[in-house]
Chain A
Amino acid sequence: DQQVKQNSPSLSVQEGRISILNCDYTNSMFDYFLWYKKYPAEGPTFLISISSIKDKNEDGRFTVFLNKSAKHLSLHIVPSQPGDSAVYFCAALSNTDKLIFGTGTRLQVFP
């Protein structure tokens, strides 16, 4: 049972444009949602999070939007840079402190 889903395995965006990564979840009891970035041969690194009581959180070029009624969140990166090329994981924190990850979306930013 995949509680956190990232339906797009890959995304290709031109440098300077906006990257939008999507994530859907099924459990309305999740307290926090997080995005992690992963380069090859490295562990995931935390990028940005949002509480379930908010609908937007912004940190520099990264903004996460949460639509609770649709059980959907998205990560916007603008402007996209070649260094943003990585695998992005969406994760959700349950009220039992279980951190559950999606399957990831590979973002490629080309010049």
Chain B
Amino acid sequence: DSGVTQTPKHLITATGQRVTLRCSPRSGDLSVYWYQQSLDQGLQFLIQYYNGEERAKGNILERFSAQQFPDLHSELNLSSLELGDSALYFCASSGNTGAGEAFFGQGTRLTVV
């Protein structure tokens, strides 16, 4: 158990809809990362938050947004969903050690039909 909790584990929704994925980081971790893993693809970095502020941005579509709340949990919002958005979405958290060791949740599998 990494200590990072992601909900829901599975999500099936229709094209055009909007969903929210939730992540609770490990206790005390200030950084939260979001990644997308499509079929047979690597982990694509989407966005990082640190203590409530956006820290780094990757290949995140404009239809996607995220935020980190004062209690440090984070949400990833995906809107106007397309079939190609079907993927595993991982959240990871890390402390401020500078060594980059991030702990991953088990992921949310999103299926857009």
Q: Using a CB–CB distance below 8 Å, which chain A residues touch chain B?
A: 6, 31-32, 34, 36, 41-46, 49, 51, 89, 91, 93-94, 96-104
Q: Which of B60-68, B74-82, B99-107 contacts A (4 or more CB under 8 A)?
A: B99-107
Give the interface centre of A42, A51, A94, A99 by most chain B CB atoms within 10 Å. A99
Which of B43, B48, B50, B106 has the largest number of chain A CB atoms within 10 A?
B43
Question: Does A100 contact B45, Cβ atoms closer than 8 Å?
Answer: yes
A37 to chain B: closest CB distance in Å?
A: 11
Asked whether A44 lies within 8 Å of B100 as measured between CB atoms, the reply is no
Take A34-B100, A97-B56 as given contacts and tell me if A43 and B42 are in contact as well, using a CB distance cutoff of 8 Å.
no
Q: Is the CB of B48 within 8 A of A46?
A: no
Question: Are B43's CB and A34's CB within 8 A?
Answer: no
- Interface residue tally of chain B, by bracket? 20 to 34
Are B104's CB and A43's CB within 8 A?
yes
- Report the minimal beta-carbon distance from B103 to chain A, rounded to whole angstroms: 7
Q: Do residues A49 and B100 form an inter-chain contact, with CB atoms below 8 A?
A: yes
Chain B 77-106, CB-CB to A under 8 Å as 1, else 0, gives 000000000000010101000111111111
Look across to chain B and name the residue whose beta carbon is closest to the beta carbon of A30: B100
